[in-house]
């Protein structure tokens, strides 16, 4: 059987001031369009089940327009296909308290074969498919009092969860996190994880699919990572399939420009050269980083020209970073000696340069963190 694993769609996400001709925030429209195209793409790939592993909506109270558009989309989909859809509650679309009511509950009420779990850990049986999907929503993480393992018996067992897996997802500050050891990889056929927007392999049968669009608080980090999209688990296939979001808007985080010893005019020249490499700014989201530029030099930049460039792009962000203060590095070193080994490793691994071809720094960093977590676990047993 084949299962599409989608997560972190974030319908209703908004950014920047640009509007569509209809007056809708352009990025909200982009994010909706991305989901729509992903669903169409999925229908062409012979999938038996669709799992949305959390954060289908960006907020617990999406706008009426977002709700209407999502309903129409599900309705168009249901008229043509009866593929079951399992939606797991994420931190963005599930209110903390159950008495607030959850927007996701509208979907199984309105459409057949749509299953929603947003509080509590529960297994859903799909007898016709010979499959069970266990849902571990974000707000069930803290109250899980049983081990997250499938019940005895055959068939395909899938776990769908939304949350931070320690040592794999970075920059997450969730009070409750999962250790990789709590996931019992060997007992599941597949584990579909949502929450971290960057596609990441946790184990060969366990993935963060990553978001379908750039909607995290750090889209530049996402832009440097693997492509946006979704995954397909095939119980007969050799490995998990990666599918990109069709028609995705381009986001570029350009390599930082070193501005030490350059005058304003030279820095402008470097910016122009870098932007020219993009082959047009129109429709793109771009960040230009200028490192080591003193305030006195910032005044010398051609701000008229920069405004013109900004108006050409969907969004152009200019990050001007003043030179590091003398003694800063030494101070970091002192502070560093008392920091956890895991943090030390991550910063070291992510700063490595000139890695051999085919070695992904993110993956290297994640692997090291996994080994550290495993070692800590073993140490705790002694």
Find the shortest distance in angstroms from Cβ 63 to Mn ion. 18
User: Is the separation of the CB atoms in 274 and 316 below 8 Å?
Assistant: no
Q: Is 213 in the site for Mn ion (CB under 5 A)?
A: no
Find the shortest distance in angstroms from Cβ 284 to Mn ion. 23
Find the shortest distance in angstroms from Cβ 210 to Mn ion. 10
Shorter beta-carbon distance to Mn ion: residue 116 or 281: 116
Shorter beta-carbon distance to Mn ion: residue 212 or 365: 212
Shorter beta-carbon distance to Mn ion: residue 91 or 369: 91
Find the shortest distance in angstroms from Cβ 177 to Mn ion. 15
**Among the listed residues 182, 207, 184, the one whose alpha carbon sits nearest the alpha carbon of residue 196:** 207
Shorter beta-carbon distance to Mn ion: residue 8 or 253: 8
Q: What is the pattern of x (binds Mn ion, CB under 5 A) and - over residues 117-146?
A: ------------------------------
**Cα separation, 39 vs 207, whole angstroms:** 19
Find the shortest distance in angstroms from Cβ 94 to Mn ion. 11
Strands 156-162 and 257-258: unpaired
Strand ranges, E, within 26-82: 49-52
Find the shortest distance in angstroms from Cβ 6 to Mn ion. 12
**Cα separation, 371 vs 359, whole angstroms:** 17
Find the shortest distance in angstroms from Cβ 176 to Mn ion. 16
Q: How far is CA 314 from CA 216, 250, 293, 334, in A?
A: 18, 10, 25, 42
Sites for Mn ion among residues 189-208 (CB under 5 A): none
Find the shortest distance in angstroms from Cβ 278 to Mn ion. 28
Shorter beta-carbon distance to Mn ion: residue 9 or 259: 9
Give the count of residues interacting with Mn ion (CB under 5 A): 2
User: Is the separation of the CB atoms in 194 and 53 below 8 Å?
Assistant: yes
User: Diameter of the chain by CA atoms?
Assistant: 71
User: Is the separation of the CB atoms in 6 and 51 below 8 Å?
Assistant: yes
Shorter beta-carbon distance to Mn ion: residue 198 or 316: 198
Helix extents (H) in 292-360? 295-298, 303-312, 328-336, 341-351
Shorter beta-carbon distance to Mn ion: residue 48 or 55: 55
Shorter beta-carbon distance to Mn ion: residue 55 or 222: 55
* Residues contacting 43, CB < 8 A, separation 6+: 77, 80, 81, 83
- One DSSP character per residue, 117-157 reads E-SS-EEEEEGGGTEEEEEE-GGGTTT--S-S-PPSS-SEE
**Cα separation, 225 vs 47, whole angstroms:** 26
Q: What is the pattern of x (binds Mn ion, CB under 5 A) and - over residues 1-20?
A: -------x------------
Q: What is the pattern of x (binds Mn ion, CB under 5 A) and - over residues 16-55?
A: ---------------------------------------x
**Cα separation, 161 vs 90, whole angstroms:** 9
Find the shortest distance in angstroms from Cβ 49 to Mn ion. 21
* Residues contacting 348, CB < 8 A, separation 6+: none
Shorter beta-carbon distance to Mn ion: residue 175 or 238: 175
Find the shortest distance in angstroms from Cβ 114 to Mn ion. 20
List phi, psi (to 5°) of 28: -60, -40
**Cα separation, 58 vs 381, whole angstroms:** 40
Determine the residue with CB nearest Mn ion: 55
Structure tokens at 9: 């769609």
Q: What is the pattern of x (binds Mn ion, CB under 5 A) and - over residues 53-92?
A: --x-------------------------------------
Structure tokens at 62: 């999406």
Shorter beta-carbon distance to Mn ion: residue 157 or 212: 212
Q: Which residues bind Mn ion (CB under 5 A)?
A: 8, 55
């Amino acid at each position: 059987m084949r299962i599409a694993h989608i997560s972190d769609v974030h319908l209703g996400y908004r950014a920047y001031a640009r509007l569509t001709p209809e007056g809708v925030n352009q990025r909200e429209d982009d994010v909706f369009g991305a989901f729509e195209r992903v669903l169409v793409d999925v229908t062409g790939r012979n999938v038996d089940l669709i799992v949305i592993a959390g954060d289908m909506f960006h907020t617990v109270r999406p706008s009426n327009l977002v709700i209407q558009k999502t309903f129409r989309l599900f309705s168009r989909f249901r008229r043509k296909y009866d593929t079951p859809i399992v939606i797991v509650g994420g931190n963005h679309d599930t209110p903390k308290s159950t008495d607030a009511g959850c927007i996701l509950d509208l979907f199984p009420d309105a459409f057949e074969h749509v299953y929603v779990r947003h509080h509590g850990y529960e297994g859903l049986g799909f007898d016709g498919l010979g499959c069970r999907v266990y849902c571990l929503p974000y707000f069930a993480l803290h109250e899980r009092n049983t081990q997250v393992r499938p019940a005895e018996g055959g068939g395909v067992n899938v776990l769908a969860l939304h949350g931070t897996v320690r040592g794999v997802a970075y920059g997450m500050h969730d009070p409750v996190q999962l250790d990789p050891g709590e996931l019992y990889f060997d007992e599941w056929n597949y584990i579909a994880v949502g929450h971290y927007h960057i596609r990441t392999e946790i184990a060969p049968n366990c993935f963060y699919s990553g978001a379908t669009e750039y909607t995290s608080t750090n889209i530049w980090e996402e832009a440097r990572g693997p492509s946006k999209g979704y995954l397909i688990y095939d119980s007969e296939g050799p490995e998990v399939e990666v599918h990109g979001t069709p028609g995705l808007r381009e986001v570029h985080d350009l390599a930082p420009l070193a501005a030490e010893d350059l005058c304003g005019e030279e820095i402008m020249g470097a910016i122009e050269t870098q932007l020219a490499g993009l082959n047009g700014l129109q429709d793109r989201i771009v960040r230009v980083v200028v490192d080591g530029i003193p305030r006195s030099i910032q005044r010398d930049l051609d701000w008229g020209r920069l405004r013109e460039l900004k108006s050409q792009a969907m969004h152009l962000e200019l990050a001007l970073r003043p030179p590091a203060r003398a003694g800063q590095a030494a101070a970091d070193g002192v502070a560093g000696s008392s920091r956890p080994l895991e943090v030390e490793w991550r910063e070291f691994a992510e700063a490595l340069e000139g890695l051999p071809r085919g070695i992904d720094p993110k993956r290297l960093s994640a692997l090291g963190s996994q080994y550290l977590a495993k070692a800590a676990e073993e140490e705790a047993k002694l």
